[in-house]
């Protein structure tokens, strides 16, 4: 079938999810067309993956689609008139409880309600999102986990990567991978670093870019914190292998890819207990209340001083990760959903290379 994947600006998890499922759906015989901003296509390397990519302002390119799958509430809002115009089913995956910048809470809730009511199927990346969609009137809402990609092999040895990070053998490297944005609450990482400033063997590393970079760097410099902003990286395998602990401080997450990557890599995780995190990691990670700097600092120090407990968490994390669906399983589940919604109503034609639709 012909499936339009629709998403807005995403340099993080939503875009990575589409980059994961789209090629796998094509391998299963479906025609995929991705509609997104240029920044998303470039960040997720959609063209390099061989995907058929079009800008959001190309509504006629939806002609002939059997189904639209919008990722995120903003994309769902854009998908509503397209699905109505072409009389095709609309699937909306809710990846995040936060709608976006610039909307008052009342306006955000109205958009959520409109998208929930208008979609033929709402998929939630965590069960609390499914429950929210149902409360807002979604007629058909289901849990649909987002699988983390396979952790890449390290391109650099652990010793060499730690040398680059300025960490000695006896140091504990605490790794945070995140977009530098308000939802990620990265000020908490700095608060924890300030709380343990007397422990010179604890080194915090934040990987990622975003609008809060300058603000975070100013505080790191002014307070002489042992925190390094590393920027983006194409070698996550090496960073995960070089670290001793992973730290996630978000105020909300559905099924955080960075939490999945940490457990898949055997890296003990300390995370805020928010959104879908607890259902994701179970008892295989250390969970603290959002904003509880004192408890997070205490648990990090305890783990730094207890290699036996770190080993226990590593083994527990690997067992927990083995229970998660992989990328192929997620693609198979989506293909079944698409078949269910389009049965008996597909266009008999195909998208051609020029972007048009050709009737058989």
Q: Is residue 186 part of a domain?
A: yes
User: Is the same domain home to 245 and 335?
Assistant: no
Asked whether residue 152 is assigned to any structural domain, the reply reads: no
CA-based nearest residue to 254, from 287, 278, 276, 270 = 276
DSSP annotation string for 139-192: SSEEE-PPPPPPPPPPSS-HHHHHHHHT--TT-EEEEEE--SSGGG-THHHHHH
For residues 177 and 37, membership in a common domain is answered with no
Distance CA(188)–CA(202), nearest Å, equals 15
Residues 260 and 203 in one domain: yes
Question: Mean pLDDT over residues 167-187, rounded?
Answer: 95
One domain, residues 339 and 190: no
| Per-residue pLDDT at 149 exceeds 90 | no
Instruction: Encode pLDDT of 319-345 as tens digits.
Output: 999 999 999 999 999 999 999 999 877
Eight-class DSSP state of 30: -
Note the pLDDT of residue 350: 79
Per-residue pLDDT at 98: 57
- Residues 27 and 140 both lie in one domain: yes
Which residues are paired to 90 by β-bridges?
68
Domain hosting 279: range is 158-321
pLDDT, tens digit, for every residue of 295-325? 999 999 999 999 999 999 999 999 999 999 9
Rounded CA gap, 222 and 87, in Å?
A: 57
6 and 138 in one domain?
Answer: yes
| Model pLDDT, residue 349 | 78
Q: Does residue 35 sit in the same domain as residue 66?
A: yes
Is position 339 within any domain? Answer: yes
Are 10 and 65 part of one and the same domain?
Answer: yes
Whether residues 110 and 202 share a domain: the answer is no
Say if 313 falls within a structural domain. Answer: yes
- Strand 349-351 relative to strand 357-359: parallel, antiparallel, unpaired? antiparallel
Domain tally for the chain? Answer: 2
The DSSP line for 105-121 is HHHHHHHHHHHHHH-SE
**Token couple for 66:** 């059997």
Going by pLDDT thresholds of 50, 70 and 90, the confidence category of residue 131 is very high
The CATH number for 8's domain is 3.40.50.2000
**What mean pLDDT value characterizes the chain?**
93
Return d(Cα 33, Cα 51) in angstroms, integer.
7
Q: Are residues 109 and 216 in the same domain?
A: no
Q: What is the DSSP string of 337-357?
A: HHHHHHTT---SEEE-TTS-E
């Amino acid at each position: 079938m012909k499936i339009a994947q629709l998403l807005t600006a995403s340099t993080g998890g939503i875009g990575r999810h589409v980059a994961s499922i789209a090629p796998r759906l094509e391998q299963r015989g479906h025609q995929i067309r991705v509609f997104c901003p240029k920044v998303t296509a470039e960040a997720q390397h959609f063209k390099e993956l061989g995907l058929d990519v079009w800008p959001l302002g190309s509504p006629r390119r939806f002609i002939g689609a059997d189904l639209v799958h919008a990722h995120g509430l903003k994309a769902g809002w854009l998908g509503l008139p397209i699905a109505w115009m072409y009389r095709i089913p609309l699937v909306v995956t809710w990846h995040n409880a936060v709608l976006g910048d610039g909307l008052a809470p009342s306006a955000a809730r109205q958009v959520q309600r409109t998208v929930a009511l208008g979609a033929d199927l709402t998929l939630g990346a965590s069960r609390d999102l499914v429950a929210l969609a149902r409360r807002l009137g979604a007629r058909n809402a289901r849990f649909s986990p987002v699988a983390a990609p396979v952790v890449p092999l390290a391109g650099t040895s652990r010793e060499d990567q730690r040398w680059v990070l300025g960490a000695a053998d006896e140091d504990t490297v605490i790794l945070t991978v995140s977009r530098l944005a308000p939802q990620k609450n990265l000020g908490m990482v700095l608060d924890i670093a300030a709380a343990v400033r007397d422990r010179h063997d604890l080194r915090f590393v934040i990987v990622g870019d975003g609008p809060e970079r300058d603000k975070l760097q100013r505080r790191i410099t002014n307070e002489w914190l042992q925190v390094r902003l590393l920027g983006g990286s194409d070698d996550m395998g090496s960073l995960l292998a070089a670290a001793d602990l992973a730290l996630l401080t978000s105020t909300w997450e559905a099924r955080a890819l960075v939490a999945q990557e940490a457990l898949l890599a055997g890296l003990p995780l300390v995370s805020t207990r928010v959104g879908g995190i607890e259902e994701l990691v179970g008892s295989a990670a250390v969970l603290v209340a959002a904003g509880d700097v004192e408890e997070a600092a205490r648990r990090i120090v305890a783990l730094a001083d207890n290699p036996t407990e770190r080993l226990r968490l590593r083994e527990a994390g690997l067992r927990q990760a083995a229970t998660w669906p992989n990328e192929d399983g997620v693609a198979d589940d989506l293909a079944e959903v698409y078949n269910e919604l389009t049965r008996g109503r597909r266009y008999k034609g195909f998208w051609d290379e020029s972007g048009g639709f050709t009737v058989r």
